[in-house]
Structure 1
Amino acid sequence: MFEYLTGLITMVSPDFIVVDVNGVGYRVAVANPYAYQEDDQQVVQVFIYQAVKEDAITLFGFATQAEKRLFTQLIGVSGIGPKSALAILATPDHQGLIDAIQNGDDKYLSKFPGIGKKTASRIIIELKDKVVAVQDEVQLDFTAPGPLGPSAALQDALAALESLGYTTKQVERVQKQLEGLQGELSTNDYLSQGLKLLSR
């Protein structure tokens, strides 16, 4: 059983990343692949959940232990498989997801692919008291650990915005505003600010 992988990102695709650990490339499904920096000099740590079936072994990756814990809580709900849980975690608003579970907001949960009203109700019933334990920990942080310069963090955030469905023109519209932000910002910070600007 894997706990985490530490290595170089050698490939980023719409569905997965490849982490090279001492010459072995591990294909890892992640919620937002484009948030990982594709740089052969960038060492990252990706927390791993290993799903074993008769015909396949799949690795699911997470930027933080808290994100992995939320994933394992979701797949513990009847009717939620690893792919559905990963699709839910692709939302940039993890705190909004937790709030929806705690507040019994089945309408919010039903907006995710493959999640109907019955499944949303099961998520609420089974996780309402469990997600409290990670509420303070789980913040959106798709950036793998390691030093990221402001420009790299911004580029990752812009790529993440496009992967969430915004057009190149919309992303370019907010790019200059994001470039003007002060302070040392992470991909998470840029992404959050970008979503606020795009929702206006």
Structure 2
Amino acid sequence: MYEYLRGVITQVWPGYIVLESKDGIGYKIFPANPYHYTVDQEAQVFVEQIVRETELTLYGFASMTEKGLFNKLLNVSGIGPKSALAILAGADPASLVAAIDQDEVGYLTQFPGVGKKTAQQIILDLKGKMADFANLAQGQELSLGLDLSDSNRLVAGDSQNLADAMAALEALGYAQKDIKKVKKALAGEKGKTEELISKALALLVSA
């Protein structure tokens, strides 16, 4: 129904953002990384609306590439929206496509909600069918329609940024034992929330 929504970000939480459109409607949107956005930022967010029984949910993306990958993953049996978001948050498009085409089951099972059977199903369903994404570099298209000029500002102390980053990992479905490990590894790290999330995801995927 919706291709994208444009407005002002009024709330940023570990699991979701709220975008208020010009008509005053606040849309609750679940992106892979809410901390790409900041409060009072004007943004255009590509969205996918999913309706399940009594639940209607909007999932948000910084580009059409992200949205396309999300929908590809949803076509795989055993992959739901939350698992697809977690994969998008932790993998750049090129690495994901390469893992699928090279039968790297171990790479795929590092994401929450993806066991060996589901990873094999991803490869079975998508191998050779993602040519449109094969040459993408990490970060390509991420600025499409999105003002990131102020999205990396520090909104609190470094300890709060780390706490927010860990909460974002929990919202993506990572286990507490894994979160505790990366939190310990990143203890004392300085940086913005988005940067700490990226570092944490890199540690989780390489573990």
The two structures have a TM-score, normalised by structure 2, of 0.73
Partner of 1:91: 90
When residues 64 and 12 of structure 1 are mapped into structure 2, their CA distance, relative to the original with a 3 A threshold, is same
One-letter amino acid matched to 2:114: I
Deviation, structure 1 residue 174: 5.1
Partner of 1:66: 65
- Paired residues of 1:48 and 1:60 also in contact (CA < 8 A): yes
- Paired residues of 1:92 and 1:140 also in contact (CA < 8 A): no
Partner of 2:186: 170
RMSD: 3.1
- In the aligned structure 2, how far is the partner of 1:71 from the partner of 1:54? 21
Partner of 2:10: 10
One-letter amino acid matched to 1:7: G
Q: State the SS of the aligned residue for 2:70.
A: helix
- In the aligned structure 2, how far is the partner of 1:73 from the partner of 1:122? 13
One-letter amino acid matched to 1:57: L
- In the aligned structure 2, how far is the partner of 1:86 from the partner of 1:58? 13
One-letter amino acid matched to 2:107: Y
Deviation, structure 1 residue 195: 5.7
- Paired residues of 1:161 and 1:171 also in contact (CA < 8 A): no
Q: State the SS of the aligned residue for 1:96.
A: helix
- In the aligned structure 1, how far is the partner of 2:83 from the partner of 2:108? 12
Higher relative contact order (CA 8 A, sep 6+): 2
Partner of 2:116: 117
- In the aligned structure 1, how far is the partner of 2:42 from the partner of 2:68? 23
Q: State the SS of the aligned residue for 1:78.
A: coil
When residues 173 and 112 of structure 1 are mapped into structure 2, their CA distance, relative to the original with a 3 A threshold, is closer
Identity %: 41
When residues 195 and 120 of structure 1 are mapped into structure 2, their CA distance, relative to the original with a 3 A threshold, is closer
- In the aligned structure 2, how far is the partner of 1:195 from the partner of 1:76? 26
Alignment of 1:26 onto 2:42: no
Partner of 2:45: 46
When residues 37 and 108 of structure 1 are mapped into structure 2, their CA distance, relative to the original with a 3 A threshold, is same
- In the aligned structure 1, how far is the partner of 2:18 from the partner of 2:51? 19
Q: State the SS of the aligned residue for 2:122.
A: helix
Deviation, structure 1 residue 167: 3.9
Q: State the SS of the aligned residue for 1:119.
A: helix
- Paired residues of 1:51 and 1:57 also in contact (CA < 8 A): yes
One-letter amino acid matched to 2:186: Q
| Structure 2 gaps, min length 5 | 156-160, 170-178
